[in-house]
Amino acid sequence: MWSYEKRLQFPVNIKEPDAKLAQIIISQFGGPDGELSASMRYLSQRYTMPYKEVAGLLTDIGTEELAHMEIISAIIYQLTKNLSMEEIKESGFDKYYVDHTLGLWPQAAGGIPFNTCEFQVKGDAITDLTEDMAAEQKARSTYDNILRLVKNPDVCAPIRFLREREIVHFQRFGEGLRLVQEKLDSKNFYAFNPEFDKCKDCGDK
Amino acid sequence: MTEKEQMFYDIGIVDFVVVELTEFLDVHPDCAEALEYFKHYSKIRNQMVEEFSQKYFPISVNHADCSKEWTWGAAPLPWENCPCAADVLQDKSGSCETCKMREGGC
């Protein structure tokens, strides 16, 4: 269950459209390390996560990622609002425009459509949380790259906020992984998969 | 910044604290200090959302008073620019606290 609030987690107020910038930032909507990918990764992984603290963490971070997708979408929407035909042609936005006009469609900066192969649900607590930590760092690197390309302060402010959240979520997933490991055999964390294998002395202690 | 804008901005700040504490408490459920902060800020957050929704526009459908009209549908969409953005361009510093801090309509 979810409920919606009509506000962004971080305000977005862009004064000047910039279709070139929009084509870069769209990667954090539908690209390999984008916010859509992040939310779907965590919200899909949580069902078989055997420890309820960690399943709760996946739910809450997955939910925050939906709010981040909305911030990124608001940035793209405002950067492409009221574009003239000339601006569309000059900025190279014409290739996107021909298929989607000014509508928002999840794709990577290189034009590759959003694909669930960009994330994994392995059904193994250690594997999935390790993927989640890597995902947060990959998104952080993408935001670092965006910040090197962007000078507009209206765009930088929400991007910096999102970058910081990647670092915090990396920390939280690390703590989630530690919680999982504490419940496993300290001599061999890989003795069994707590999301699949059943044994008398293992699992949710 | 108008009172409405200030209130809306403050809700964003307090809600952020609640989000941060929620995720922290998920993996540190025994941290009494964080729990105290959570109790404090989630109470303030709920009061602020309630007060703002009564005064200006409903932030969620649960806070909408639709006894006479569909006020939820009339609430501004959060991805739209602030209509007062035009004022910002005249600001010498090139940035306007009002607009930087706005989300949704004015």
- Would you state the pLDDT for residue A186? 92
Does pLDDT of B87 surpass 60?
Answer: no
- Would you state the pLDDT for residue B83? 44
Confidence of residue A204 (pLDDT cuts 50, 70, 90): low
The pair of three-digit structure tokens given for residue A106, joined into one six-digit string: 């999840």
- Would you state the pLDDT for residue A114? 98
Does pLDDT of B26 surpass 60?
Answer: yes
- Torsion angles phi and psi, residue A91, rounded to 5: -85, -10
Which DSSP category does A75 fall into?
A: H
Q: Calculate the average pLDDT of chain B.
A: 82
Confidence of residue B81 (pLDDT cuts 50, 70, 90): confident
**What residues in B contact A16, CB-CB < 8 Å?**
none
What is the DSSP code string of A130-172? HHHHHHHHHHHHHHHHHHHH---HHHHHHHHHHHHHHHHHHHH
Confidence of residue A180 (pLDDT cuts 50, 70, 90): very high
Query: Count of residues for chain B?
Result: 106
When CB atoms are compared, the residue of B12, B27, B61 closest to A179 is B27
Does pLDDT of B103 surpass 60?
Answer: no
Most A CBs within 10 A among B8, B27, B60, hence the mutation to make, goes to: B27
Does pLDDT of A140 surpass 60?
Answer: yes
Interface A–B counts its CB contacts (< 8 A) at 95
- Would you state the pLDDT for residue A198? 82
Query: Count of residues for chain A?
Result: 205
- The SS3 of residue B104 is coil
Q: What does the pLDDT average to over B12-39?
A: 98
- Torsion angles phi and psi, residue B80, rounded to 5: -80, 145
Tell me the ipTM for this assembly: 0.94
Does B38 contact chain A (CB < 8 Å)? no
**What residues in B contact A175, CB-CB < 8 Å?**
27-28
**What residues in B contact A176, CB-CB < 8 Å?**
26-27
- pLDDT tens digits, one per residue of A28-44: 999 999 999 999 999 99
Q: What does the pLDDT average to over B16-33?
A: 98
Spell out a b/e string for B35-71, using b for 16 or more CB atoms within 10 Å of the CB, else e. eebbeebbebbeebbeebbeebbbbeeebbeeeeeeb
Does A113 contact chain B (CB < 8 Å)? no
